Structure 1
Amino acid sequence: MSDRNPKRRQIDFPWWLLTIALLGAVLLWAIVNDTGYNEIFTVVSKGIWTTLWVAMLAFLLASVLGLLVALARTSDKVVLVQAATFYIEIVRGVPILVALFYIAFVGAPGMVEAGNILLSPLISHGWLPKLSIRNFDFTWRAIFALTLCYSAFIAEIFRAGIEAVDKGQIEAARALGLSGWNTFRHVVAPQALRTILPPLGNDFVSMIKDSALVSALGVQDITQLGKVYSSSNFKFFETYNVVAFLYLTMTISLSLLVRGLERYMARNRR
């Protein structure tokens, strides 16, 4: 039956997307035709690869670590459950920027010092050079920090997906003689994946935005290049227009992909 309510059709139309597209078209026209905007875009766009590289690698590592934490949180071992819960609560309770500074200026030097102690026999014999904090690039410190911060949130997504699987199916798989790993691989994982993919996509969009925090460490991403350029010629309005445009282009594109994935999975569930 067709929807005859015109108000509903008006609500369903993505006016917000049309508005953003018009604003983006105006800014894109300025980038193409205005010499100042064109120069800013040329400089700032060099940080796109760094932004995507940091976000994608950190999200991949966070997903792996989050899955391990989620498996520990849903295990039958009390020690693992308590340790995973402690990790999640501590990491989620610390602001990402604070964690970024802590890992970059406290955790990284501590890891280098611990590595020198563990490898001291090899270093003393001249078989390995002594590790230096200068060898620990700030980009990798930022990736490590984002990995730890997001792994706690992703672990809860994985846990929700695992616990959403009907317990009867798990018991039936074990009754058929499947091992714990085979039960997870053939029964739990395929069903949980359908549940967790949309929120994982939303978390990746958030990772793209939060990757701007790595500019606080001097990593040459979009935000850092915009900050350096605007501080040298005082074109703050134009520069941050371009910075916002680049972030919006990436995040809105990913958000639309996530929404399309949600609709596709919803149709396949019927």
Structure 2
Amino acid sequence: MDVIIDNAGLFWSGWLRTVEICLYAAIGSLAVGLAVAVARVSPVPVLQRLGALWVQCLRNCPLTVVLFFMAFGLPEVGLQGSYFWFGVTGLVCYTSAFICEAVRSGINAVPAGQAEAARAIGLTFGAGLRLVVLPQALRSMVPPLGNALIAMIKNSAIVGAFGVGGELFSVADTLTSARGLPALPTLTGVVAGYLLLILPVGFLLGALERKVAIAR
């Protein structure tokens, strides 16, 4: 415990940096995932194929390969940036494939008659999806969305291995490699940091799941 107490400031700053990565990645992956899901259920065949291609390529590709492509492949074609944003972008792209499938499964769980009724009263595809289908689909989407977001938080540790710097992974590497501190208490502090981040998210998602379940 002395290792954690003596380096509490470093653990705290690493935790805040991890929170920053996860916030950017969550917002980005939810936005991209929703857009890809809409493309996959749209009546436009080209959009359906592009959405399916996005999901199949990223969902079946290891996250480390995606991050390597972002960090070392994009600069070779002239796209420059910091490792932080390359890491966040890779995490967004990877997680969005799973977010897309969670959203799509929720949309498919809504009876087809609901979309047909929306079209019958003159709503466009977009308006029917936004006003009729998605509110009902939320009930089925919450558990898989929660799983995808929690997995994203844990995957942020892999992002830290690509030189982002300052987050919990880097804290563990600094304390064990650079300062020679014992690994067990150091990793215990890192685990505690991730639990401090994941458990409240799980609690909030559980509360949201119960709330929409009551609305049935």
Same fold (TM over 0.5): yes
Q: Distance in 1 between matches of 2:60 and 2:74?
A: 18
Q: Aligned to 2:170, which of 216, 224, 227?
A: 224
Q: 2:99 aligns with which of 154, 161, 165?
A: 154
What number of residue pairs does the alignment pair up?
214
Deviation of residue 209 (structure 1)?
0.8
Separation of aligned partners in 1, 2:215 and 2:62: 38
- Deviation for aligned residue 1:184: 1.6
1:83-112 per-position Cα deviation (integer Å, ceiling 9, x unaligned): 211221111111111111111100244252
**Quick one: which of 29, 39, 44 aligns to 1:62?**
29
- Indicate the residue corresponding to 1:176 in structure 2: 121
Which consecutive residues of structure 2, in runs of 5 or more, have no partner in the other structure?
A: none
CA offsets per residue over residues 179-214 of structure 1, 9 Å max, x none? 222212211121122321232222221111110111
**After superposition, where does 1:1-270 map in structure 2 within 5 Å?**
30=1, 34=2, 36-112=3-79, 133=80, 136-219=81-164, 220-231=166-177, 232-269=179-216
SS at match of 2:42: coil
Aligned partner letter, 2:192: F
Contact 2:40 2:49 in 1 (8 A): yes
Which secondary structure does the structure 1 equivalent of 2:20 belong to?
helix
> Rg: which structure is higher?
1
Letter in 1 for 2:212: M
Deviation string for 1:18-57 (max 9, x for gaps)? xxxxxxxxxxxx4xxx4x3311332222111211111111
CA shift for structure 1 position 168: 0.9
SS at match of 1:177: coil
* C-alpha separation in 1, matches of 2:78 and 2:38: 26
C-alpha distance in structure 2 between counterparts of 1:216 and 1:37, whole Å = 21
2:215 counterpart SS class: helix
Shift of 1:147: 0.8
Instruction: Name the CA distance, whole Å, in 1 between partners of 2:91 and 2:172.
Output: 21
Contact map agreement 2:30 2:99 (CA 8 A) in 1: yes
> Could you list the per-position Cα deviations for residues 137-195 of structure 1 after superposition, in whole angstroms to 9, with x for gaps in the alignment?
11000011001101111111111111111111211121111222221221112112232
Distance 2:160 2:168 in 1: 8
Verify the 8 A CA contact 2:37 2:103 in the aligned structure 1: yes
For the residues of structure 1 that align with 2:25 and 2:76, how far apart are their CA atoms?
20
- Decide whether the 8 Å contact of 1:162 with 1:192 is kept in 2: yes
In structure 1, how many angstroms separate the alpha carbons of the residues matched to 2:172 and 2:106? 39
Q: How far apart, CA to CA, are the structure 2 residues paired with 1:108 and 1:68?
A: 26
Cα distance in 1 for partners of 2:14, 2:59 equals 28
TM-score (norm 1): 0.74
Q: Is the 8 A contact 2:139 2:209 kept in 1?
A: no
Q: Is the 8 A contact 2:139 2:213 kept in 1?
A: no
SS in 2 for 1:233: coil
Q: List gaps (5 residues or longer) in structure 1.
A: 1-29, 113-132
Read off the aligned partner of 1:53 and give its amino acid letter.
E
CA distance, structure 2, for counterparts of residue 259 and residue 267 of structure 1 = 13
Query: For the Cα contact (< 8 Å) 1:40–1:242, is it kept in 2?
Result: no
| Structure 1 runs of 4+ with >4 Å offset | none
